[in-house]
Amino acid sequence: MSSAELNHAQTSAPLPPHPEKATLEGRNKILGIWLLIGAETVLFACLFGTYLALKGSNMNGPTTEELFQIPMVAAATLILLTSSLTSVLGVVGMHQKNVKKVMLWFGITVLLGAAFLGLEIYEFIEYVHEGHTFTGSAFGSAFYTLIGTHGSHVLFGITWITCLMIQVARRGLTLETTPKLFVASLYWHFVDVVWVFIFTVVYLMGKVG
Amino acid sequence: MSRGKPIGRLFLFFAMFALLLTGCEKPLSNVLDPQGKIGKEQLELINLSVYIMIFVCVIVFAIFFYVLLRFRRKPGDNAIPKQVEGSLMLETLWIVIPIILLVILAIPTVMTTFSQAKEAPKTASEDFIRVKATGHQFWWEFEYPDYKIRTSQELHIPVGKKVYVEVTSDDVVHAFWVPGLAGKVDASPGRINRIPIDADKPGIYKGRCAELCGASHALMNFQVVAEKPSEFEKWAKKRQKPKSEPQTVEAKDGKKVFAQNCMSCHAIDGTKLKMKGDKAPNLTGFAKRNKIGGLLDNNEKNLDRWLKNPEKVKPGTYMPGFSHLNKKDLSSLKTYLKSLK
Amino acid sequence: MATLVVLLVFALFIVAILTGGYNKQMISRFRSHWLWEWLTTVDHKKIGILYAIGGGFFFIFGGIEALLMRIQLFFPDNQFIVGRDFNELLSMHGTTMIFFVAMPLLFALMNVAVPLQIGARDVAFPFLNALGFWLFLAGGLLMNLGWLFGGAPDSGWTNYVPIALNQYSPGSGIDYYVLGLQIAGFGTTMGGLNFLATIINMRAPGMGFLRMPLFTWTSFVASALILFGFPPLTAGLFLVMFDRLFGAQFFEVALGGNPVIWQHLFWIFGHPEVYIVVLPAFGVMSDVISNFARKRLFGYTSMVFATLLIGFLGFMVWAHHMFTVGMGPMVNSIFAIATMAIAVPTGIKVFNWMFTMWGGKITYSTAMLYAVGFIPTFVLGGVTGIMLALPPADFQYHDSYFVVAHFHYVLIGGTVFGILSGLYYWWPKMFGYKLNETLGKWNFWVFFIGFHLTFLIQHFIGLFGMPRRYFTYQEEDGITLFNQISTVGAVMMGVGALLFVANIVVSYRNRTSLVAGNDPWDGRTLEWAISSPPPVFNFAQLPQVRSLDCWWHEKMEGNKEMEPAEPLDHIHMPNDTPLPIIMSLGFFISGLGLVFRAFEVGVLGLVVVVVTMFVRSFKPDHGYHIEVEEIKATKKGA
């Protein structure tokens, strides 16, 4: 960050049109999150591969067809996809330098994320009751690891966005907070995209065959 | 660096190697001198690759040493050499030539890979035999499904016939390798891998485990005993009708000791025992084996050593020591074991 | 005992927080200590030195392990170190040398050279850079704790399951492996991400991608390999951890698990890893050779594309480590051909190096000796690599000493020679004085000859039927003399390594007579345009890059320094921070807790991590400014 940019950050001069890309720090952050998303994609690809290799090994436990209930999972999917949309609206609000709008839409995003997590936990409890456990079979281990890893990403995402909302509430939209918000929303989209793949590969394909 | 050094170094290595290769030791098994057709096919491929690689090395080393000596900076020479960017012709040359060499290498590679992967015919026949080899920590079990024989540590095969080995494991990953005959394959739990081996000449070939499998990985040896087909058939007959009944009083006592201490893990065919353990090597025909535990020469002293403290011989083995047995029991047990033919 | 240690560590941590947080005097005493500066630094040059110290430290362990193994193999049926103990040695030797020696030493060179070579004041994420280092150290220390408490890992650096599961490896050895590598792996991934972002975003004006020195290029590609290669390891380690700690069934055949999954995940990481450690070494060689031949790198563009191609193909060939797994002739053939294809870009590199020297004026400094010694060594390792790529032939070589010989030719002949070359080359830039050249030459020749003595013969030990990871062989095998020669060579390598240490000590004592100045080697790239060691901000004014080998270009134009691309202005730098080391401590405690199955401690460690992350996020850290007067003063001083 050159000194001119820094002064800009410290005095509250009006923000430039794309505040998240105005500083070198901001640009580095955005590039960094894209790289992180690349690495995470590989991580999830490995977990998907493991799941596909082991999904037949249910060892007398319930099979995917018996287990999965599409309506509930579809509802969860819808919730998460909507939260992606609301986070976009939050970023739009950020570009309009509208703190209220940012807080509103990111707040809704967090709530939807929490609702999704709640559904997932409920789903897990049901499965365990049906005899589909983490330690019961290789299928169980692979299933809970894949979905659980995604769930922990959701949890991390809502915590992160909540923290950023607190910072925005305290300091407003600055050259420091805007890249953070932008980056968190990118991460959030990634988490959603992973879910779309989980929905297709795990649930729909599990139902079909 | 003076002018003589690199060349001197090279000579040193060649001299050392000549010394070694003609030296006093003769390796027991040699990948470069396999005793079976399959190993020889693999050797052909190895040789082809070695020739190509020697060709490459000679060219590279020639240029390398020439450059090293020719373009040294003389003291006081401060001239700036011409800053060459590259040469399209040269660079194309060293892209194209390696590709050609690789194609020459790739074609026989793929052909051999496929030809050697042919699996055993489904029905039994005179031309080949089938064996199931199972790796255990730290011993090998061999089963001949067409002969209904189960044995361990010693794989008897007829010379000149293809032996299709089905390799698997009972616990961790091992690998089945007889370096003097042919290449290896992994023994993984839950899957069966098939490889063919064969021997041209009668003889004893050392087999090894080639995948780290625990404390005694280095001691998980076995022997491949290649015999003339007639002798192999004789061996198989003997093994189908083994002499396992104790003949002397001492051997009878020995069998009792065996029944009390050993049979929950070890089996002996051809005699009446309450159970036939399968956790440890099948001991039918033990007296005819060359090695104890696949490792020690089969004699009185070693048998004693092994029975008393197997941990000392093979660290990590599941076999407990029997030093607590009294002298009489131990010696009758040994007598019985030595009577198994 | 074990739990006690965990609790003790934790108690110390609490005490540190309490006293440090409330006792101003204590804090200021800490802060004024010279060590504090090193513990909290975010300066890439200092972190580079820290990486070098860390890598050197673990090199002592890895080297001693190697020597102990070679001593055991001196006689047939030797009883010196057998069974599980030997397995611990070989596992720790492999893991240490790859993860805690080769990688950190390369990160050391990357940290020292890359930002200077691209004309940057710092890396893109200085905080992550420091965190990466401390995580590497935490992981390495955690893994080596196994020697003291509960046994070291004993399933090889490849850690194949099921032998690495509780049933076959009880005790905490594998837990140390899994958690130590996981923690170090996080650090490495951050390092890779950081260098990618640095090289993409922070190049000086005019420094286009095709003007970057080759070391920067290879670091760039290696960083990309780290970024995409480490996640499979992370995933695999999680699976093993879940199986061992939480009763998952990924690899338990009886419950539907499949051990081959680990092998795939490991090698999807493991093969790129080979290129991660060898590509930066290629880069060092390229820069050193072109520097000491006083010639521009021959075929620069093709070198760059060869690097990219090697990086890309590196991901396509992992299954050639698994030819004997039984994947069938089709899979084996495909991977065989993909593997052979790598020979082409590698060949391009070798010929380009030789033709860089062709027509040049070669000065044989120690750095150049290592670079030159590298070429034939690496060619030998490369041709055996092609031989290993032929599946039917590999059935004979696989897991034998032939493989051991092959990868030591590549890893020592490539990586270690590269690192040593790089250390001799950049030492003056790091510390301001050169290493002693006479001792350096001794170091090179002893190490070089010892290396070939150790490993050339091992090709034959393998061909004569000795599998790798054997703690002994029998007299009947007829390979005693061969093994003894190899051991003698290993001792010689040990002496060679000691000579390097001696050189560091001797050179430090005589540093006043070895003072280097800005440009001791008549260099070509940007790092030689600034003082040695560089000021904290590297460049008072960012330079305007006008060509490849830009510093050489300016010198040829008769300029004494780079043309600045910006007016002299005050410079903004990030503050030092203790958070990375605290965060790593949290990971360390968590790992230790999980190793001893004390899950409360495991969670508490993670709480420390999360709390530090909150502090980092909420406490604004604007850094500080270096004023123009100060910059001018530094300039004059240099």
Q: Residue by residue, what is the 3-state secondary structure of C310-337?
A: HHHHCCCCHHHHCHHHCCCHHHHHHHHH
By CB atoms closer than 10 A (0-12, 13-18, 19+), residue B104 is: middle
CATH number at residue C233: 1.20.210.10
**Per-residue pLDDT at B20:** 59
The Cα of B72 is separated from the nearest Cα of chain C by a number of Å equal to 5
Total residues belonging to chain C: 638
The Cα of A31 is separated from the nearest Cα of chain C by a number of Å equal to 6
Contact B83 C296 (CB under 8 A): yes
N-terminal to C-terminal alpha carbon distance within chain C:
55
- C523 neighbourhood in chain B, CB within 8 Å: none
Tell me whether chains C and A touch (3+ CB pairs under 8 A). yes
Contact C264 A57 (CB under 8 A): no
**Per-residue pLDDT at C12:** 74
φ/ψ of B184, rounded to 5, equals -115, 170
Summarised one tens digit per residue, pLDDT across range C238-284 is 999 999 999 999 999 999 999 999 999 999 999 999 999 999 999 99
- At C236, list the tokens: 């695999």
Residue C3 confidence class, pLDDT cut points 50, 70, 90: low
Strands B222-227 and B154-158: parallel
Flag whether C563 is in a domain. Answer: no
Flag whether A10 is in a domain. Answer: no
Flag whether C545 is in a domain. Answer: no
Summarised one tens digit per residue, pLDDT across range B75-112 is 888 889 999 999 999 999 999 999 999 999 999 999 99
Which is nearest to C287 in space by CA: C171, C465, C434, C421?
Answer: C421
Flag whether C355 is in a domain. Answer: yes
Flag whether C586 is in a domain. Answer: no
Region B225-247: mean pLDDT is 93
The one-letter amino acid at B4: G
Summarised one tens digit per residue, pLDDT across range A191-208 is 999 999 999 999 999 988
Number of independent structural domains in chain A: 1
The Cα of B279 is separated from the nearest Cα of chain C by a number of Å equal to 16
More confident residue, A5 or B91: B91
A167 touches chain C (CB under 8 A): yes
Flag whether A200 is in a domain. Answer: yes
DSSP, residue by residue, B223-279 = EEEEE-HHHHHHHHHHHHS---S--SHHHHHHHHHHHHHTTTT---TTS--S----S
**Rounded percentage of chain C residues whose pLDDT exceeds 70:** 96
User: Is residue B296 classed as helix, strand or coil in its secondary structure?
Assistant: strand
Summarised one tens digit per residue, pLDDT across range A116-160 is 999 999 999 999 999 999 999 999 999 999 999 999 999 999 999
Most A CBs within 10 A among C199, C225, C250, C614, hence the mutation to make, goes to C250
Residue C392 confidence class, pLDDT cut points 50, 70, 90: very high
User: Is residue B209 classed as helix, strand or coil in its secondary structure?
Assistant: strand
Residue B3 confidence class, pLDDT cut points 50, 70, 90: very low
Contact B265, B279 (CB under 8 A): yes
> What does the mean pLDDT of chain C come to?
93
Region A26-38: mean pLDDT is 96
- CA separation for the pair A39, C194 (Å, rounded): 13
Number of independent structural domains in chain C: 1
Q: Residue B89: which residues within 8 A CB-CB, separation 6 or more?
A: none
A205 touches chain C (CB under 8 A): no
Q: Which domains does chain B have, with CATH numbers?
A: 128-240 (2.60.40.420), 249-339 (2.60.40.420)
φ/ψ of B138, rounded to 5, equals -130, 65
The Cα of C343 is separated from the nearest Cα of chain B by a number of Å equal to 8
Contact C197 A142 (CB under 8 A): no
Flag whether C185 is in a domain. Answer: yes
**Is pLDDT above 80 for A7?**
no
Q: Which of A10, A28, A42 sits opposite C201 (nearest CB)?
A: A28
Most C CBs within 10 A among B72, B115, B212, hence the mutation to make, goes to B212
Q: Chain C, 555-584: which have a CB under 8 Å from a chain A CB?
A: 569-572
By CB atoms closer than 10 A (0-12, 13-18, 19+), residue A125 is: exposed
**Per-residue pLDDT at B18:** 58
Summarised one tens digit per residue, pLDDT across range C191-249 is 999 999 999 999 999 999 999 999 999 999 999 999 999 999 999 999 999 999 999 99
Flag whether A108 is in a domain. Answer: yes
**Is pLDDT above 90 for C553?**
yes
Flag whether C6 is in a domain. Answer: no
CATH number at residue A97: 1.20.120.80
**Is pLDDT above 90 for C72?**
yes
Please name the residue ranges forming H helices in C464-598.
Answer: 480-509, 550-556, 579-595
Flag whether A148 is in a domain. Answer: yes
Helix and strand numbers (H, E) in chain B are: 8, 12
Does ipTM come in above 0.90? yes
Domain span including residue A40: 20-208
Flag whether A13 is in a domain. Answer: no
**Per-residue pLDDT at B48:** 95
User: Is residue C488 classed as helix, strand or coil in its secondary structure?
Assistant: helix
**Is pLDDT above 80 for B6?**
no
Query: Cβ–Cβ contacts within 10 Å for residue C16, how many?
Result: 14
Domain span including residue C173: 41-513
